[in-house]
Chain A
Amino acid sequence: MSFFDDIQKYPLADVQRQINSSTDADVQRALSREKITVDDFAALLSPAALPHLEKMAQKAHRQTLKRFGRTILLYAPLYLSNECANGCIYCGFSGENKIPRETLDLDTIEREARVLHKQGFRHVLLLTGESPMKIGNDFLAAAARRIRHLFSSIALEVYPMEVNGYREMIANGVDGLTIYQETYDPELYDRMHLYGRKKDYKFRIETPERGGEAGLRRIGIGSLLGLGEHRSEGFYTGLHALYLSRKHWRTHLTISFPRIRPADGGFQALNPVSDREMVQLMCALRLLLPDVGLVMSTRESAELRDNLLPLGVTQMSAGSCTAPGGYGEDAEHLEQFSIDDDRTPAEIEQLLRKRGYDPVWKDWDAALMAD
């Protein structure tokens, strides 16, 4: 049974009703437990939990400290292409947008990779739009092969593949996958994705499972905050992580909290998520899933990222550029979205030290998976 089947037991209306009818007593009970249940999780996501946010944050902080210590893993995104055959109405790369399209050749990819390597990065996330016809498995495999000697860990955030595709990626040095469901609400999902392979909700939601089956070691999930109603989206994200942790018990999971940023196409968030609501979401997920990595990207402002640090974050991007080729030269006109925290990796490293965290550049070794 896939997560797609599993999630049918939790219709959106029921989930929202449960969350919104949670009481103060439900929240207090949840906070008194060492390990919380799914019902407790719903209570912690509810409006009734907002007055208890500080207590949740303290608990989330303690749990993170125990499991991950005072360390933050640093990674960098590397955009390879902004070609896209999907029509996702919220995305700057959408096929609908008349923007210049660019795909890096292998030499440029290596040049970009060297910039990141020199900055200290050993964990890299390769990104593209979704255009498997133009930017397919062969291209990605060649890109990974070309730069694998520079990094300890290579992850992908690209179009969903079949199991064999992921196996091919592993053979070429890839060990991680990030794939956001964007929204777990199937109706909204249908409205947001006008055409293209991404329109297939089921294929997308089963992608982390295919990655796990292929043997990928780190899988990141999340929903795009600002699309669906965030409390239920958080609930489904938690269920998804629980499902994956049981099915692919040898894979490390991470959850991201991407909030919609200004992008080409001018899409406005349907359900804007406030800072307070995002903090609640992060803390509730941390308490449900003490061992899951929580990722904070440069989408958020420097100030907010600094404040979120002790709440359960375990990894961060730094000095990011969301345009293909942007590390080597100015390529702002090609970017997927504009970032908010534009501090350099060295500045982030310094900040982490100042806040009492050890910036970790390497927490994987390519030798683990090499043949």
Chain B
Amino acid sequence: MRDPLVIAGREFNSRLMVGTGKFSSNEAMVQAMEASGTEIVTVALRRVDVADEADSLLSHIDRDKYLLLPNTSGARDAEEAVRLARLARAAGCEPWVKLEIHPDPFYLLPDPIETFKAAEILVKEGFTVLPYINADPVLAKRLEEIGTATVMPLGAPIGTNKGIKTRDNIAIIIEQANVPVVVDAGLGAPSHAAEALEMGADAVLVNTAFAVSPNPGLMGEAFKNGVIAGRQAYLAGLGAQRDQAEASSPLTGFLGS
């Protein structure tokens, strides 16, 4: 059965997006990307020189194989994020942008107000916008209304590897969304990724778990399998969880059928 992830009309076979920060080397990064089966790779614009073809990080990303998704990490407000996105497009990147505005360098939590403002501008300018947000269902709906291509709620703060701490809100976002929901940040284990997909999330984005693993390639493969397992379980339909075992001799059995 074909089951592609569709974002802004474009199909992807993998439901795992990969970030490129924190790796010990570009080679380690490529190993994780390859093994994970990803087709979407995000790069912080502040880390690279998009105008320079020889940029050491960018030159390691095969653009025929991966959609390069520039992100605006480092931007403190809408104005800065918009400026970065425009520069990337002017330098020849596709007009896709992962909108990240987390002014607080401590927990890297996204600023909902600035993110909304920037999304509005960028959508109008023809960008395909994938905004990183806190797991706020109302904000997710507002962003969808103005035309973002996805919403990307966080499972837990970036780099924490804590898993889906925002589970209840993410469930509401998934229930209400008409655009793909990508759980971004905080996923530290393949089981976390599987959990997101089991819940009905359309995709996940992982970075730290790969980058800090002593074996990024193997971890990439593990997440690939976790994502596939989670998606399959979602499609197959998970049984409802119960608090108690269901009696095999029900109390109303005497009534007959």
Interface residues of A (CB under 8 A from B): 65-71, 152, 217, 245, 249-253, 291, 353, 356-358, 360, 362-365, 367-370
Contact = CB atoms under 8 A, between A and B. Distances in A.
17 contacts: A67-B159, A70-B211, A71-B22, A71-B24, A152-B46, A249-B103, A252-B105, A253-B105, A358-B25, A360-B47, A362-B47, A364-B74, A365-B45, A368-B46, A368-B80, A368-B83, A368-B84
Contacts of B22: 68-71
B80 A369 contact: yes
B36 interface: no
B48 A362 contact: yes
Nearest to B158: A67
A358 to B, nearest CB: 5
B75 to A, nearest CB: 6
A237 B23 CA distance: 30
B83 A367 contact: yes
A250 B103 contact: yes
Contacts of A362: 46-49
Nearest to B212: A65
Task: Select the residue from B22, B48, B75 with max chain A CB neighbours within 10 A.
Answer: B22
Contacts of A356: 24-25
A81 B255 CA distance: 97
A360 B44 CA distance: 13
B76 A250 contact: yes
A352 to B, nearest CB: 9
Nearest to A69: B22
Contacts of B106: 245, 249, 291
Q: How large is the interface on B (under 10, 10 to 19, 20 to 34, 35 or more residues)?
A: 20 to 34
Given A69-B211, A365-B84, A249 B47 contact: no
Contacts of A367: 45, 83-84, 87
A353 B75 CA distance: 29
Contact of B24 (A245, A291, A357, A364): A357
A355 to B, nearest CB: 9
A291 B45 CA distance: 21
B26 A358 contact: yes
Contacts of A252: 105
A65 B84 CA distance: 27
A365 B84 CA distance: 9
Interface in B54-72: none
Task: Select the residue from B47, B80, B160 with max chain A CB neighbours within 10 A.
Answer: B47
B21 interface: yes
Contacts of A152: 46
Interface string B21-37: 11111101000000000
A217 B24 contact: no
A363 B47 contact: yes
A364 B75 CA distance: 10
Nearest to B102: A250
A253 B105 CA distance: 8
A67 B212 CA distance: 10
A363 B211 contact: no
